[in-house]
Amino acid sequence: MLRTHTCGELRLDHVNQKVTLAGWVQRVRNKGGLIWVDLRDRYGVTQLIFEEGSTEKELLEKAAQLGREFVIQASGKVIERTSKNDKIPTGAIEIKAEELTVLNPAKVPPFIIEDETDGGDDLRMKYRYLDLRRGVVREKLQLRHRMMQETRKYMDGQGFIEVETPVLIKSTPEGARDFVVPSRVNPGEFYALPQSPQTFKQLLMVSGFDRYFQIVKCFRDEDLRADRQPEFTQIDCEMSFVNQEDILMTFEGLVKSLFREVKGIELGEVDRMTFEDAMKGYGNDKPDLRFGMKFVELDHLAKGKGFSIFDQAELVVGINAQGAAGYTRKQVDELTDWVKRPQIGAKGLVYVRYNEDGSLKSSVDKFYSQEDLSAWAEAFGAKPGDLMLVLSGDAKSTRKQLSELRLKMGEDLGLRDRNVFKPLWVIDFPLLEWDEETQRYHAMHHPFTSPKREDIPLLESDPGSVRANAYDLVINGVEIGGGSIRIHDRATQQLMFTHLGFTPEEAQKQFGFLMEAFEYGAPPHGGIAFGFDRLCAIFGGSDSIRDYIAFPKNNSGRDVMIDTPSTISEDQLQELSIKVALKK
């Protein structure tokens, strides 16, 4: 070994020991006859000291030539620091250097490699291998490692077997766009990269592996954002001979175990809410329960008073922002402008301020008396000091708009504390959702999700009302996992394909292997997949999953460090029987 200890290891107990360290030069402070060098590796930072009089002149000159990010080896005696640094674990000691070897000099890095850096996102992604030297980035990947190990430990303890499934699979028409891979030995034919191992984990259940899991790479050719990458990682799981309750309890246990072992937090009870209640009360299917502001519908109180905007609306609904009555008129106008942005799409915002003296002031005083507004306040459960905010319009879009406003108010009022965690199971999703563009129903989750048995007759008469045996786990307004009880017999699966618009020939071509497998004794089964990157981001208190991926892509799906995607040679294209014809 080129070192006896790491740069984060030495303490006062090591004083007077002769040690050898190796690492990167973080900074050099040269006071002429006295030089300090901060030496860094992934374990920490240790200070080296070179002092005129006690250090050989040649060694002092060598130390003076060191630059940032030089890779060096240094040997010397551990001594107690006279001026201690309580900000780092090694701050009570330093190394009185006696030997110095430059293992590799370095160019001046394009940005400062410290927790507080001067490098922007684009620059740091181009030099990601340098960015990974920064402690704040390294800590995120260490958190990811810890969570991966604790996941495997829990799953192994529950009797699950880790099985790897293929990466080159068959393209399917449902879900997001596939990434496709040409086959050289089968000209004109293509593999797809898996969006998930869905059919394979079901086939493992048919095979008798009744508890499977995999920490697996998945691929989707989608538009990107902070919590989405073209390649991402799932904790993929499947179980046989279980019902929905068995799965919820098993994987509630996983999440509780991760919080306990990684963050030292006991989660407590995990609430449950139907999809219908989530949409009605919070306007989305992944409500953030760290704060209140549950929706209150005002149709019966607000309509019929001569205010045409409300009278003509399908829905009048609002939230109560506790303690926000102090918002100025300017602040309320800014909120109005915010909800009227194209991204939100509201036509306006009505407010009611509940003043500390008990009076009520609103933007619609012309149409509503104090008695009317008092009835609103009672419906909201509002008290003096609160601010009620009301939107109206068609039901679906208005709920979505109010959901965005609720999240903004929660953020502005400091109610979305990153150190508070509120998990929630959302259950009873619709099986199907109508797509206006294609004018047909699509599977809300995927085509293998089992409908509630009692709702199967509705597939013919009212397909939009059929509930699925599906469930999502949400933490702080972020969906971190979702799954379902699966269809496990050919007849029901064929019925599902029919209602999704597949002809029997299309279903056979795409999924014939799965339906045939169901005829060989498929057990009842179900599962769940967790977005591992999102889970890591929540544990680390970040909005972006990119921070928890060693080599992420940018918002255009490019890896700017290795400059890909890129063109390939004409010889390769010919070998693959591919001709490129770019759209103009």
Return d(Cα 167, Cα 164) in angstroms, integer.
9
| 534 is annotated as contributing to ligand binding | yes
| 533 is annotated as contributing to ligand binding | yes
Return d(Cα 210, Cα 212) in angstroms, integer.
6
| 134 is annotated as contributing to ligand binding | no
- Contact between 372 and 364 under an 8 Å Cβ cutoff? The reply is no
Return d(Cα 238, Cα 484) in angstroms, integer.
10
88: left (phi over 0), alpha (psi -120 to 50) or beta: beta
Return d(Cα 465, Cα 445) in angstroms, integer.
15
| 225 is annotated as contributing to ligand binding | no
Return d(Cα 344, Cα 387) in angstroms, integer.
20
| 229 is annotated as contributing to ligand binding | yes
Return d(Cα 130, Cα 200) in angstroms, integer.
38
- From the number of C-beta atoms within 10 Å of its C-beta (0-12, 13-18, 19+), residue 198 rates as buried
| 115 is annotated as contributing to ligand binding | no
| 445 is annotated as contributing to ligand binding | yes
Structure tokens at 80: 């107690």
Q: Around Cβ 168, how many Cβ atoms within 10 Å?
A: 11
| 479 is annotated as contributing to ligand binding | yes
3-state helix/strand/coil string of 33-97: CEEEEEEEECCEEEEEEEEECCECHHHHHHHHCCCCCCEEEEEEEEEECCCCCCCCCCCCEEEEE
- Which residues partner with 41 through β-bridges? 44
Q: Look up tokens 């009555």; give the residue.
A: 325
Binding residues for ATP: 220-222, 229, 479, 531-534
Binding residues: 174, 220-222, 229, 445, 479, 486, 531-534
Binding residues for L-aspartate: 174, 220, 445, 486
